[in-house]
């Protein structure tokens, strides 16, 4: 059930006051002008047939009332009808319609501005949804095509190649599973349907656990680890935050050079837990940084098969829901550093 906010109630009261004042002005003007015109006409024509003043007042009141009603309709009803027609266009799927607010009284101007803001938001949502569906379709198609292709090759392949094709199918299956899991988790996070229970736990131990989960990857790349983890107790959603650290560390491994350096630090500053994940890889340009948290965006095409472009978008959303902030600093050729700031209270 919707509850009126104080601002909404004030606007509604103001609108009712406008209509009451217009009606009062309409009646006053009609009676006043009718009286004046009656006296003027009697003085001008000096008719032999004396028409009672009350008759003149009634006739002129009707005429003036019609004229003022037409004016009132133009000033008050026309803007409402225009808003109604614009809303009908939006209901039919036209998100390009906009309303100019010049020449209308305050409440109508505010209504037009709110309408334009609403349509702009709907247009952005429509575009985002369309792009999301398009990207999801593409990301699903790639591993499914690979699975189908290798399955067909296995039918006539010798045992040696069958093992190779089976590994390719398993890889594509895992990639498809990761994509589905990320989409489902992102949907839950966006709609806030995930459990919001927060518990205190050791954040430094969780970071070590995330690093151990990815041990195979950083071992294969022969990365040097530089850990500086202060003992910090944090209260939050433990399972969601683990997803943040595995995403950031996995990216640092993925975009690092073989034999490179992986830095992971945790400190306390101004009642906040400050976590930094840095690599010594190729780094990013300003243009790439501006899109790094966009869904399905992958700056480095050479690593496209290793991810789906949802990890950082999901990471940013989880950090935001936790009341924290995430930022990135990067220079081409000198690696990247992601910084997460989480309030401890």
| Span 91-105, pLDDT tens digits | 887 878 888 765 556
Same-domain check for residues 53 and 159? no
Same-domain check for residues 181 and 71? no
Same-domain check for residues 54 and 164? no
Q: In this structure, what CATH number is given to the domain that contains residue 149?
A: 1.10.287.130
Which position has the higher pLDDT, 52 or 203?
Answer: 203
Same-domain check for residues 228 and 322? yes
Structural domain includes residue 37: yes
Q: Note the pLDDT tens digit of each residue in 270-296.
A: 889 999 999 988 888 888 887 787 765
Q: Are 261 and 279 in contact (CB under 8 A)?
A: yes
Same-domain check for residues 217 and 318? yes
Q: Residue 105: how many CB atoms within 10 A of its CB?
A: 14
In angstroms, the first-to-last Cα distance of the chain is: 32
Structural domain includes residue 244: yes
| Tokens 């792009």, located at residue | 131
The number of folded domains in the chain is: 3
Structural domain includes residue 127: no
**Backbone φ and ψ of 26, nearest 5°:** -60, -50
Domain boundary among 94, 112, 142: 94
Q: What is the pLDDT of residue 203?
A: 93
Structural domain includes residue 238: yes
Structural domain includes residue 338: yes
Q: How far is CA 146 from CA 155, 173, 257, in A?
A: 15, 9, 27
Q: In this structure, what CATH number is given to the domain that contains residue 330?
A: 3.30.565.10
Write out the residue range of the structural domain in which residue 88 sits: 6-94
Q: What is the pLDDT of residue 296?
A: 58
Domain boundary among 191, 216, 232: 191
**221, HSE (Cβ side, Cα atoms, 13 Å):** 22
For residue 267, name the pLDDT band (cuts at 50, 70, 90): very high
Same-domain check for residues 234 and 312? yes
Same-domain check for residues 87 and 20? yes
- pLDDT at 182 > cutoff 50: yes
Same-domain check for residues 237 and 336? yes
Same-domain check for residues 186 and 163? yes
Same-domain check for residues 211 and 337? yes
Same-domain check for residues 138 and 65? no
| pTM, rounded to two decimals | 0.52
Structural domain includes residue 304: yes
Structural domain includes residue 120: no
Question: Pairing state of beta strands 325-330 and 336-343?
Answer: antiparallel
Structural domain includes residue 66: yes
DSSP 8-class letter at 337:
E
For residue 5, name the pLDDT band (cuts at 50, 70, 90): very low
Taking alpha carbons only, the member of 278, 277, 283 closest to residue 333 is: 283
Same-domain check for residues 177 and 206? no
Domain boundary among 76, 94, 112: 94
Q: What is the pLDDT of residue 13?
A: 57
Measured between alpha carbons, how far is 330 from 327 in angstroms, rounded to an integer?
A: 10
């Amino acid at each position: 059930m919707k509850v009126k906010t104080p601002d909404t109630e004030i606007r509604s009261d103001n609108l009712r006051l406008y209509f009451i004042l217009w009606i009062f002005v309409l009646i006053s003007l009609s009676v006043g002008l009718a009286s004046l015109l009656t006296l003027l006409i009697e003085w001008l024509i000096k008719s032999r047939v004396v028409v009672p003043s009350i008759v003149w007042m009634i006739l002129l009141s009707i005429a003036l009332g019609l004229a003022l009603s037409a004016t009132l309709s133009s000033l008050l009803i026309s803007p409402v009808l225009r808003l109604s027609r614009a809303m009908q266009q939006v209901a039919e799927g036209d998100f390009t319609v906009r309303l100019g607010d010049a020449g209308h009284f305050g409440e109508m101007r505010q209504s037009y501005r709110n309408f334009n803001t609403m349509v702009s938001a709907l247009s952005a949502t429509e575009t985002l949804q369309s792009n999301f569906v398009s990207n999801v379709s593409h990301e699903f198609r790639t591993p499914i095509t690979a699975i189908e292709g290798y399955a067909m090759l296995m039918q006539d392949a010798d045992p040696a190649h069958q093992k190779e094709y089976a590994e390719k199918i398993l890889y594509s299956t895992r990639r498809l599973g990761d994509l589905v899991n990320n989409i489902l988790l992102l949907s839950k996070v966006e709609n806030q349907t995930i459990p919001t229970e927060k518990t205190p736990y050791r954040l430094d131990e969780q970071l070590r656990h995330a690093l151990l989960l990815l041990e195979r990857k950083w071992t294969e790349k022969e990365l040097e680890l530089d850990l500086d983890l202060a003992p910090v107790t944090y209260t939050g959603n433990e399972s969601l935050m683990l997803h943040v650290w595995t995403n950031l560390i996995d990216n640092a491994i993925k975009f690092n050079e073989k034999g490179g350096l992986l830095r992971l630090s945790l400190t306390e500053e101004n009642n906040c837990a400050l976590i930094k994940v840095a690599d010594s890889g190729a780094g990013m340009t300003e243009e790439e940084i501006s899109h790094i948290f966009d869904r399905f965006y992958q700056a480095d095409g050479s690593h496209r098969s290793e991810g789906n472009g949802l990890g950082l978008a999901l990471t940013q959303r989880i950090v935001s829901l936790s009341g924290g902030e995430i930022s990135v600093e990067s220079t081409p050729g000198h690696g990247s550093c992601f910084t997460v700031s989480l309030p401890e209270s």
